[in-house]
Amino acid sequence: MDEPAQAAAVSGGLEFTVGQLGRIEPLARGGTATVHLVPDLTRVGDQPGPYVYKKYTDKTKQSAGPALGQGLSNFVQFRDRLPADQLKAWDERIIWPVALVKDGGGAADGILMRIIPDRFFHHFTKRNGGSNHKPREIETLFGDTETAMRKGLPDVSLGTRLQLIRAIAAAYGMMHKENIVLGDVSGRNIIYDPDPQRPAIMVVDVDSARIRGNRATFGSQPHTPNWQPPEALAASHALESAKRSVPPAARDVQDRLHNAWSIQSAKTDVYKFGLMVVRILDFGRGCAVNRDPAKARTILRAQLGTEAQALLDASMAGDPQDRPLMRDWYRVLQGAPSTTPKQRPRSAPAPVTPPRPVLVNGTRRGNWEWVEGHGWSRITAP
């Protein structure tokens, strides 16, 4: 067995080689990276583990180019400079890189991150009856209640949804205060715990963010489909027209339009936060792409008053200059129920994952029915 890895301080940050990590056990695979548990690494600096190693694919590293190492090092050093009291609040809300990992040749290979706490995971029931243990992404709140039931997800009340929105605003507001532009805001880079006694969120996949004044680590900050702000949609349409023109528009024109599409700022973050509010409050089948704020604004007005409604309207404005600040959202959302974590009594048992239910032919969950040999099928009204 490998010896536990030892950290080496570098330029105020932390840096490892792959060989220092000890055992590497695969956990998950994505389009840009693979994630591995590193069980021998128990501490980085003054922070205890466990940790995971996010190893970027060769394609991702080639796309980022030679600036990848410096960009990731900037991320690590940023967190290392936070005051102790602020660092605690930061780590409670954000999974941020804690160390740079280099390959045997000295090139940037990935990052180390704290592992996501268990409370943010869920055993999802798949349509074939199997189970998938993975983080509970905020986009699971956008869909219909019956599908959530079929997946084994709990019903999340309006009060808890408002508390989760408030927690997201607090995390995003903290990041904006520290000059972080999130950029790729979507339903997949917020995870949540819907426990009504202590609902909580965490921001994940922040390596696509940008520290203001620096270029993004991976070049441009892309938009997730169906999350583009109006200015990006307009630039995208103009770019497609430029490509289809006869003859096609000059390359410099196309580059300018592409740059206009990819530019992200605190104002684009606020627009996307507004979309998230809309989709958390006005949820249902097909609502994961909802851009209509009508129902959400009515809910905000009824629950929190006209100022909350006005903030949503301003956040969805076509002109970025008309959009509010994240701190405005956090101030108004103070009217939502508190999200301060409540301590369980010491005598209370730890939460136990319920046993996987036995599925028999005809089992119903909402408008889903279990059919032997087929799996879950949605029942349509006659």
pLDDT for the residue numbered 252: 76
Distances from the Cα of 357 to the Cα of 9, 124, 130, 350, angstroms: 49, 12, 11, 21
The domain limits of the chain are 8-114, 119-221+264-335
pLDDT for the residue numbered 13: 42
pLDDT for the residue numbered 237: 81
Would you place residue 357 in the very low, low, confident or very high pLDDT band (cuts 50, 70, 90)? low
Closest CA to 304 of 276, 331, 324, 279: 331
pLDDT at 226 over 90: yes
- CATH 3.30.200 given to domain 8-114: yes
Q: pLDDT of 263-295, one tens digit each?
A: 789 999 999 999 999 999 999 999 999 999 999
Matching fold, domains 8-114 and 119-221+264-335: no
Cα-based torsion angle of the residue sequence 197, 118, 113, 277 in order, rounded to the nearest 10 degrees: -40
Closest CA to 93 of 354, 372, 339: 339
By CB neighbour count within 10 A (0-12 exposed, 13-18 middle, 19+ buried), where does 66 fall?
A: exposed
Name the pTM for this structure. Answer: 0.84
CATH classification (class only), 119-221+264-335: mainly alpha
Q: pLDDT of 143-201, one tens digit each?
A: 999 999 989 999 999 999 999 999 999 999 999 999 999 998 999 999 999 999 999 99
Task: Answer yes or no: are the C-beta atoms of 131 and 356 closer than 8 Å.
Answer: yes
Separation between Cα atoms, residue 176 and residue 285, nearest integer Å: 32
Distances from the Cα of 70 to the Cα of 32, 98, 185, 357, angstroms: 18, 14, 23, 49
pLDDT at 5 over 80: no
pLDDT for the residue numbered 131: 85
pLDDT for the residue numbered 212: 85
Task: Answer yes or no: are the C-beta atoms of 341 and 200 closer than 8 Å.
Answer: yes
